[in-house]
Chains A and B, each alone.
Chain A
Amino acid sequence: MKRMSVAIAALAGLAITAGAAEARDQIHIVGSSTVFPFTTAVAENFGKAGKFKTPVVESTGTGGGMKLFCAGVGENTPDVTGASRKIKDSEIEGCKKNGVTSITEVLIGYDGIAFANSKAGTSIDVTRKQLWQALAKQVPVNGKLADNPYKMWNEIDPSLPAQKIEVLGPPPTSGTRDAFVELVMDVGCEEFPEIEALDKDAKKAACQSIREDGAFIEAGENDNLIVQKLDANHNAFGVFGYSFLEENADKLQGGKIEGVAPTFDTIADKSYPVSREIYFYVKNAHVGVIPGIREFVAEYVSERAMGEEGYLADKGLITLTDDKYKDVASKAMALSPMN
């Protein structure tokens, strides 16, 4: 018993010193789960070079990452955050309030969202308007909004396959869902005069609400699970990140959106409409305090990582065009703060 209490005292002592003194010598990264596979690859290569410890990368989601990142300056806050969208003005404001005034923004590349199904199923070519009609909670019927009546794809348009509407997608907590809503649903609904006539809030609700009658199935954050389910159910379609489509090209086919199939090239030149930019943000106040941040950024934007034939491309990143890459890399190396 005596030995036990000594152990507890020792542990408590350790806890206090750990919280207060010990300087952090390891970069701490948070942020989007979309950026996670890329940041971790860079972190690993950076750690292998041997000069610095391998950074710790936490997958918190874009919003959650921003919250931690903007919580202040100091060892207990992360140094870098990944984002599957641009930082919002409100987030910059929040950052400033907590003393995080100097942030460097680095565009990593692009990520496409695939609308895909099993190779054994029929291939599809849809427009965003049709996708919205298939997935919105309420659609205009005879000039009025009504609960979505469509059960089959060919009820929306005869050119679409005669099969049940069944779409597996991410839940609202996911960044992929946010991007899907923004890039597909918001765009698709604008084609209807009935929606345009609504006031701002009602329009937003009408555009962004996804139906809950079983045609859209929330399949969880795990994109691998959606891939497996599509493999088992040939009539279903899935919504997930492009890298999962690439990795499972033997099982799945990407549906064309407005005539463009999701491929590396169509996402890079932005002709595939459902693609987004992904970023990481660096807290400049930590540069020079936490060892290795400058070198980490240099590794991230190096030719062998972010370049056209870099290892991030192997991980499914849609890389930047050459001019853009040079611009991004030079700005990142200088750690020039945004505005």
Chain B
Amino acid sequence: MTDVALIGSASETGVKLRRPDLSEDRIRRRYAAERRFRLYGMLAIGFAVFMLGFLAVTVVLQGYTAFWQTRIVLDVNIDPAEVDPQNTRLPESLWQGNYQAVVREALRSLFPEVESRGDRRALNDFLSNAAGDAVRRMVMENPALVGTTQRVEVLAADEIDMLAKGRIDRDVPATDRPIDDQQLGWFDKLEAEGRIVSSFNLDFFTTGDSREPEQAGVGGALVGSLLTILTAIILSLPISVAAAIYLEEFAPKNRITDIIEININNLAAVPSIVFGLLGLAVLLGFFGLPRGAPLVGGMVLSLMTLPTIIIATRAALKAVPPSIREAAYGVGASKQQVVMHHVLPLAMPGIMTGAIIGTARAMGESAAVLMIGMVAFIVDIPTSITDPATVLPVQIFLWADAPERAFVERTSAGIMVMLVFLVLMNAAAVVIRRRFERRW
């Protein structure tokens, strides 16, 4: 009985539904669903923006101070006995001079009360072990300065730098601080005399890595990244464009080309570490190429960017309207002429966009280059693609692992430099697309 009744009522509602339900209740529900849907979207965007903003703000707050470097202003008496013991004034002997000693002497002269060996050491800790380099540079430029007293800004040690930047808590007990109370007193005196100055840290962009945070820079890694990326582009761009043109324009559509196409798409999704292992086994193991060289890094990264550029190029070629090709055929152009003279130039903006995005990805890549030995401590800035080098992401990785507190800000600063690079590259991709793209 109930079953029958149910069927009856169901068919009744079915009949009712055929008429549009324009009741206010239903319309209200539809609007509510619409609003809810938009709210989900907004929440998703809000969450993404928040996370991104959080990341950016943390990195910037931690790292912006690395672009400034604390120096100590000292009146350095460039003592010939330390700097040029043989009194020759020849560049070679001036280069060998003990400039650290004259800088230490200058600092000591400000604190005549410091006598004991331990205190002297504590005072010397104010100076970076590269503090003398500034004086050396001056003397090399002008040997006549030897024997005079000059006002020089010398590099402060990383702990003084941290203190000046307020990254060392003065309130914790002295035994727990890298700077003790006595040193704190000296520092305050120097600061009161205006001898603690902070200036833009240009060295950060020009020097290689160092174990001393105040001397470490991204210069070496930047050059390494550029050499690597250049090698990758020179290798991957012609190969992938040629492959894409053949596959898109000339290749017969059969099973083999299908398999190739599927594999190219799969290759784009292969984790980068696999390419690194391939480089390790084949390029280093079999061909015996030098470990940690941008040449090898570039080759590995070019393998990684190949599929990205091939896919982008094929899409760009496909987007050129058939009317262009047909018109070219119509005036008697050969297939090659059609492609080279008409289709390829029109597809160029799309190809370039793909290439730049692929390259940007390669630039941020660390796993692949870790495998081939680019994770190394390298002070000298590489000059050729066979010199050992590191790349930016690896440099960041190395700094993040260093025990010195001052490397925290260097790490964040390194991240900022890399982000700026990536944003610039992506912006270039957008500009190229906007400027050269044609619409039909």
Please list the residues of chain A having a beta carbon within 8 angstroms of any beta carbon in chain B.
Answer: 1, 4-5, 7-8, 11, 14-15, 18-20, 22, 26, 28, 33, 36-37, 39-41, 43-44, 47, 50, 53-54, 56-59, 76, 119, 221-224, 241, 243-244, 246-250, 309, 311, 315-316
Q: Which A residues are in CB contact (< 8 Å) with B238?
A: 1, 4-5, 8
- Is B191 engaged at the interface, CB distance under 8 Å to the other chain? no
Look across to chain A and name the residue whose beta carbon is closest to the beta carbon of B173.
Answer: A250
Per-residue contact bits, chain B 399-434, to A (CB 8 Å; 1 contact, 0 not): 011111100100000000000000000000000000
Interface pair A19/B380, CB less than 8 Å apart? no
Interface centre among B168, B212, B376, B385 (most CB of A within 10 A): B376
B34 → A minimal CB distance (Å) = 42
Which of A19, A26, A241, A249 sits near B287, CB closer than 8 Å?
Answer: A19
Whole-angstrom CA separation of A1 from B344 in the bound complex? 12
- Neighbour of A316 across the interface among B212, B376, B403, B408, CB < 8 A: B403
A58 touches B211 (CB 8 A): no
B292, A56: Cβ atoms under 8 Å? yes
Q: How far is the CB of B207 from chain A (nearest CB, A)?
A: 11
Q: A11-B235, A222-B401 are in contact. Are A44 and B385 (CB under 8 A)?
A: no
By beta carbon, the residue of chain B nearest A43 is B377
Residues of A within 8 A of B273 (CB): none
Q: Count residues on chain B whose CB falls below 8 Å from chain A CBs.
A: 45
In the bound assembly, the distance between CA atoms of A250 and B173 in angstroms comes to 8
B237 surroundings in chain A (CB, below 8 A): 4
Check B288–A19 contact: CB distance below 8 A.
yes
Q: Give the distance in Å from the alpha carbon of A284 to the alpha carbon of B318 in the complex.
A: 61
> Do A315 and B211 contact each other (CB < 8 Å), given the known contacts A15-B289, A19-B290?
yes
Complex contact B176–A76 (CB within 8 A): no
C-alpha gap A32/B403 in the complex (Å): 15
Instruction: Spell out B's residues near A (CB within 8 Å).
Output: 95, 121, 129, 168-169, 172, 175-178, 210-212, 231, 234-235, 237-238, 287-293, 295, 299, 373, 375-380, 385-386, 388, 398, 400-405, 408
Given the known inter-chain contacts A11-B235, A18-B386, A223-B403, please indicate yes or no for A47 contacting B291, CB distance below 8 A: no
Smallest CB gap from B298: residue in A: A11
Determine which of B287, B376, B386, B404 lies in contact with A14 in the assembled complex, contact meaning CB atoms within 8 Å.
B386
Give Cα distance in the complex from A262 to B168, angstroms: 23
Query: In the complex, what residue of chain B is closest to A24 when comparing beta carbons?
Result: B290
Interfacial chain B residues near A241, Cβ < 8 Å:
403
- CB pair B295 A247 closer than 8 Å: no
Tell me if B211 and A56 are in contact (CB < 8 A): no
Q: Judging by beta carbons under 8 Å apart, are B380 and A37 in contact?
A: no
A7 with B234: CB separation less than 8 A: yes
Query: B377 is contacted by which of A56, A76, A221, A250 (Cβ under 8 Å)?
Result: A56
Chain B residues closer than 8 Å to A248, beta-carbon distance: 405
| B401 contacts A224, C-beta separation under 8 Å | yes
